[in-house]
Structure 1
């Protein structure tokens, strides 16, 4: 029965990192948690591959370097979907994800993690949208020109809060992302940033890789007030599988897929089934016993089934909810 639940399921993992500088080939079954062979074995239909830009100094040269890194990483992501059809299929729309699934190919969805990539330039945001990004994480660790992060970086002389949420530029970024049909990712953002972004955005926002603060008191996790805001505005909390976000001071070897489902259960009870999904953060620290790479995705489906989730509910958690948000962002663009 469990295998039947995963068979034919359009599973979307909303946050996976890529090795950088470029690492092992995504076309070979190698040391990466997510490569094309593992996606096929795990029957994962689509992945948001994130161009992760670490927070650095906020000056002209550093911003130029961040933008160049973003361009190079997005090019590497695009190479996972070569035109000869030997890899995945590039998917820059909900319809594109569904077309890849119908063709039996993994959908490659580009994204940027950390708005530091655009510095102070809306023109760069336009450029990256033109390269296909479907979401941008407003911050990573450390404040940037857009907003306050959940975790300031003393090494960059961050104060606890620089803007008390979004900066003036950040408000313009939210508006432009809406116009471009690019989803706003509030993972890593401070609570004020997240709440303001959800209120200001014309389309629902998404936390692509976060957990529940009630179960694990970490600054990166979402508290009940944030969950209520996401639910009331139509947004999503995509449960991640990083051990330190699942349980305090835990290691991957301490945890199993049941720990992931604990967070799914809590989010569903607080927000409803339409507001919860999965974003593993594989190749960025994600992984627990039984779900250490994309090939083991059916184990999470099995755990959800054991908790009483049926086919339609699992379809929503594993990708249907995120696909709906993609479509909403596309429809509201312009």
Structure 2
């Protein structure tokens, strides 16, 4: 049943990492969780690949290193989009066109606003390269915002800015102008709530879970979920095992744990505000769903729980395309 649905539905995974600086080929079957053979086998039509920049020191050398890494990773993501059978997709229309042409859509993203190097100029470069969202923080506070998980090794206290910094507020405004979605996964609740209040476009959490089911600082509580709903945003349920069940290892849980979080979010804020962002190749994976080729297993579980084709279309991409189109309209 799921395989048949995946032939008809555009399946979008909103958060996948890439190996860096070197890694296995994207075009051949290998150890990566997401490569072209696996996405074809799993019926996945599009993936947001993140140029991930770990939080480091915020001096001039660290800032330049962060910028250079992000731009180099975006070059690598662009190269993936030039592979045979793939297509770099910078707009919602382009993602759908790739699906119609039976090509795999590669969608660029940036994870961690420290990639800006303490300024805003590179945001325009990101937009030119087709970046569709930027995660405000990773683990550790940065120049834009407080993170959900401070880094004591970098001198972080519980909070630094009380949410968004003045630069972070300017970044949100500029991202709206450029059509780059604000991603609040990894951000502190204060940062997230302020970003939702400030942004003219819907805010997304591209790889997070429900805190009511798993009390982890990386997850969103009910107040945060309600704020996403009220502003048209989307939370993409991820499959990092410790975010699904506190202290769990990937072998401890399966797709039912992911579906539990989908169920909770759907009941709390509605089917229009939930999606899937696996965090594959960045720590995501549960028993029976350790790579993109096994994607139909999650769909089968959601079908078993009563989700029909219309609902699955929203979960597996429709909701994300909607917020992309709103961001594009605001930009234009």
The alignment status of 1:185 with 2:183, answered yes or no, reads yes
1:146 is paired with a residue whose SS is: coil
Following superposition of structure 1 onto structure 2, how do residues 233-312 of structure 1 map, counting pairs within 5 Å?
Answer: 233-312=231-310
The alignment status of 1:50 with 2:26, answered yes or no, reads no
Distance in structure 1 (CA, Å) of the matches to 2:126 and 2:277 = 22
**Residue in 2 that maps onto 1:14:** 14
Following superposition of structure 1 onto structure 2, how do residues 99-178 of structure 1 map, counting pairs within 5 Å?
Answer: 99-178=97-176
Structure 2 contact 6–44 (Cα < 8 Å) conserved: no
Distance in structure 1 (CA, Å) of the matches to 2:178 and 2:197 = 18
**Residue in 2 that maps onto 1:59:** 59
Flag as ranges the 4+ runs of structure 1 deviating above 4 A.
Answer: none
- Once the two structures are TM-superposed, the CA of residue 81 in structure 1 deviates from its matched residue by 1.7
- TM-score under structure 1 normalisation? 0.98
1:79 is paired with a residue whose SS is: helix
Distance in structure 2 (CA, Å) of the matches to 1:217 and 1:45 = 32
**Where does structure 2 lack aligned partners over 5 or more consecutive residues?**
none
RMSD of the TM alignment (CA)?
0.8
Distance in structure 2 (CA, Å) of the matches to 1:81 and 1:181 = 20
1:30 is paired with a residue whose SS is: coil
- Once the two structures are TM-superposed, the CA of residue 87 in structure 1 deviates from its matched residue by 3.8
Distance in structure 1 (CA, Å) of the matches to 2:317 and 2:108 = 16
Structure 1 contact 27–87 (Cα < 8 Å) conserved: no
The alignment status of 1:227 with 2:225, answered yes or no, reads yes
Number of corresponding residues: 332
- Once the two structures are TM-superposed, the CA of residue 6 in structure 1 deviates from its matched residue by 2.5
1:48 is paired with a residue whose SS is: strand
1:7 is paired with a residue whose SS is: helix
**Where does structure 1 lack aligned partners over 5 or more consecutive residues?**
none
Structure 2 contact 202–232 (Cα < 8 Å) conserved: yes
